Copies of this chain bind each other. A is one copy, B any other.
Amino acid sequence: MDVARRAGVSKSVVSRVLSGYGVVATGTAARVRAAGEELGYVTNAMARGMAAHRTRTIGAFVRDASHPFYGHLLSAMQQRAAALGYRVVTTTGAAGSFAAADERRALETLVGLQVEGLIVCTALLPIEDVLPFAKRVPTVIAGRPATEPTVSTVYVDEVSGGRGLADHVWSLGHRRVAVVRIDRAVSMTQHPRGAEMSRRLRELGAEVEDLPHARVHDRPRDVVRDLVDRGVTALMTPTDHYAVEVLEAMADAGLRAPEDLSVTGYDGLFPLNTPLLGLTTWVQPLDVVGAEAVSTLVARLDGEHDGRSDIPVRGYLVPGRTAGTPRA
């Protein structure tokens, strides 16, 4: 209204200029824009959204922003959304918290903000908790697979990753391999990659030992020492961070990688992807996942198609230096 007065026109005209719809005389438009500028005017997105029933905003929920995994996803989504003319607002659960209630509240915030679509990134929140939201607004799940009739997914293909890494370990010559296994209930993504590593190695003919996470976690030094004593030559872990912890435990125990035991991680993300560590790992291309998630969502919002889709994204091997040929 202030802007309208200053430009000497009605608020309808201001609205038309600022939202870019409808026709306005070039000169008038310029005057309005100048007035807006001078007043530091920013359109009230709430009033606009309310009147127009469009917000051009997509909501992203990430479980834990302090983890690089989600940070990368967020950046990628932001970038692609900007390119497609959408805004992204993000909410997040409390770091390290396992409270599903918090996550639900965060999703409610987003929906309440009238976002036009939702991208949910969490390997933790049960899919059932996402469904009610997916009913109200187009939703895509990014970063983990799911088979639900109402949501699309974009995820890293864990099977090809687990398999690729297993093949690498096998091809290096390892025949007795330990794999750290994560419960499905703990992580929807880490479980299948471990399962596939294990399966594939067995298929190839290796002798595989599945290690429950708890055992490794509780007494890592003893575990690695024991593995080496028993002639196991490689240990596959579910994440780079996990691999680093194992390497620490080995250092503590006076063992070296890959001489005494080859170690593999999974993720390949900054900053643990530093050549200094030289981790043998599988890269999750989260930039692709984030971008595809946004594109999938926007395609649906813009009505280009409406069915659901599942897009698996393939990562790739980084050979590194922590896995090598086993000692004769």
Contact = CB atoms under 8 A, between A and B. Distances in A.
A158 to B, nearest CB: 21
Interface residues of A, number: 59
Nearest to A50: B46
Contact of A94 (B75, B109, B248): B75
Contacts of A274: 244-245, 248
Contact of A74 (B92, B112, B241): B92
A113 B67 CA distance: 26
Contacts of A66: 68, 71-72, 74-75, 270
B90 A89 contact: yes
Interface in A18-73: 40, 42-50, 57, 64-68, 70-72
A95 to B, nearest CB: 4
Given A42-B136, A241-B271, A113 B91 contact: no
Contacts of A111: 42
* Chain copies in complex: 2
A183 interface: no
Contact of A65 (B71, B82, B112): B71
Nearest to A62: B65
A262 interface: no
Contacts of A251: 276
Contact of A64 (B75, B136, B277): B75
B102 A75 contact: no
A47 B51 CA distance: 10
A307 interface: no
Contacts of A244: 271, 274, 276
B79 A74 contact: no
Given A112-B42, A114-B46, A87 B78 contact: no
Given A74-B66, A112-B44, A277-B276, A79 B50 contact: no
Nearest to A287: B95
Closest 3 CB pairs of A and B: A75-B95, A45-B112, A66-B75
Given A45-B113, A46-B46, A78-B92, 13 more contacts: A40-B132, A45-B109, A46-B113, A48-B112, A65-B75, A67-B71, A68-B271, A74-B92, A76-B95, A79-B94, A88-B92, A247-B276, A248-B274
26 contacts: A40-B135, A42-B108, A42-B136, A45-B46, A45-B112, A46-B46, A46-B114, A64-B75, A65-B71, A65-B75, A66-B74, A66-B75, A68-B68, A68-B71, A75-B92, A78-B92, A79-B97, A82-B102, A87-B109, A89-B90, A244-B274, A247-B276, A248-B275, A248-B276, A272-B272, A276-B277
